[in-house]
Amino acid sequence: MNLVGTVERHGWIASIRTKMLMFGVVATLIPSLTTVWISYIENKRALQAKASEELLGVSAQAVREVDLWTKELRYDLRVFSSSYAVTENLDHIPLVNGEPQHAGIYFQRLADYLHAVRERFPDYSELLVLDQHGHVVATSAAKPSHIALAPGWADELTKNEWALGAPYWDSTGTHAEMLVSVPIMFPLAKAIGMDPLAFGVFVVLAVEVAQIHPPFGINLYALSGIGKVHIGRMSISVIPYIVMMIGMMFAIALVPQIVTWLPSTMR
């Protein structure tokens, strides 16, 4: 009897020790696993927040770069379109059944000018001059090609003074392209009776205002980088010059003799 009782007693004690050991292991694992899970959730949230912040920063930088890039494109195209080679030859290209004729000396001059500009600015795959109906007047390419214009492009061009088409894939050139268009202002100036010389000075002043007008004036960023001056301080410093140039533009539009008087005395 004593031997049996002793064995049963030791078995009961071993069972208690096993339960206590299991309880201790479980009591240790549960807080540890809980801490690991909470740490995982918090790290995941922190990484997601950091990734989202970096993506937003990169996206904002990309938007600014695209804005500057399209602004440079518009500036270049306005300079190209205001050339004497465009305005003078464009008026003399004859129309056949309402469409411009792709022949003659004036057409050839305009095409040669576009081709020469295209060679100096390789970023443009093709330079074209279109009429108000979307017909190709002249192009820098060897032969006129079909241009897919977006619906309402003329209204957008009139409203915003530029139009940006949707990007598309050029299967022949195996690269992406985008159509950017600006109006040729000289025919409009002639239609309202504005002197060509006064209009030229007016356009130069308008371009200069665009180059220094915050927040997208290209010259602002160039001067800020060269002079190590904050862009905000630079923007404030150019406001008097912007006001003076805009005032001069109004004066030329109202009294074009400000520009034309001196040249008229030299004829």
Domain end marker among 79, 113, 144: 79
pTM of the model: 0.56
- pLDDT confidence of residue 14: 59
Q: Is residue 108 part of a domain?
A: no
Q: Is residue 193 part of a domain?
A: yes
For residue 114, the number of C-alpha atoms closer than 13 Å in the C-beta half-sphere is 28
Q: Which structural domain, as residue segments, surrounds residue 3?
A: 1-79
- pLDDT confidence of residue 7: 44
The H-or-E segment that residue 99 falls in is strand 99-100
Q: Is residue 74 part of a domain?
A: yes
- pLDDT confidence of residue 247: 92
**Residue located via tokens 């540890």:** 32
Contacts of range 100-104, beta carbons closer than 8 Å, 24 or more positions apart:
100/131, 100/135, 100/136, 100/137, 100/138, 102/136, 102/138, 102/144
Domain end marker among 31, 59, 79: 79
- pLDDT confidence of residue 248: 92
Structure tokens at 260: 């034309």
Contacts of residue 109, defined as CB under 8 A and 6 or more positions apart, other chains included, come to 85, 89
Instruction: For residue 36, give Cα distances in angstroms to 117, 174, 218, 261.
Output: 65, 51, 52, 84
Q: At what angle do helices 257-264 and 239-254 cross, to 10 degrees?
A: 70
Cα–Cα distance for residue pair 240/171, rounded to 1 Å? 50
Indicate the residue type of 163: A
Q: Is residue 106 part of a domain?
A: no
- Quick check: helix, strand or coil at residue 134? coil
Q: Is residue 119 part of a domain?
A: no
Q: Is residue 240 part of a domain?
A: yes
Q: Is residue 249 part of a domain?
A: yes
Listed residue (142, 147, 69, 68) closest to 102, CA to CA: 142
Do the bridges between strand 128-130 and strand 136-139 make them parallel or antiparallel, or are there none, so unpaired? antiparallel
Total domains, the chain? 2
Identify whether the C-beta of residue 109 lies closer than 8 Å to the C-beta of residue 89: yes
Domain end marker among 64, 79, 94: 79
pLDDT in single tens digits along all 267 residues of the chain: 444 444 455 555 557 767 677 776 666 777 777 887 888 888 888 888 888 888 888 888 888 888 888 888 888 888 888 777 887 788 788 877 777 888 888 888 888 988 888 888 888 888 888 887 778 888 888 776 677 777 777 777 777 777 877 777 776 667 778 888 888 776 667 667 778 788 888 888 888 888 888 877 778 888 888 888 888 888 888 889 899 999 999 998 888 888 888 888 876
Q: Is residue 49 part of a domain?
A: yes
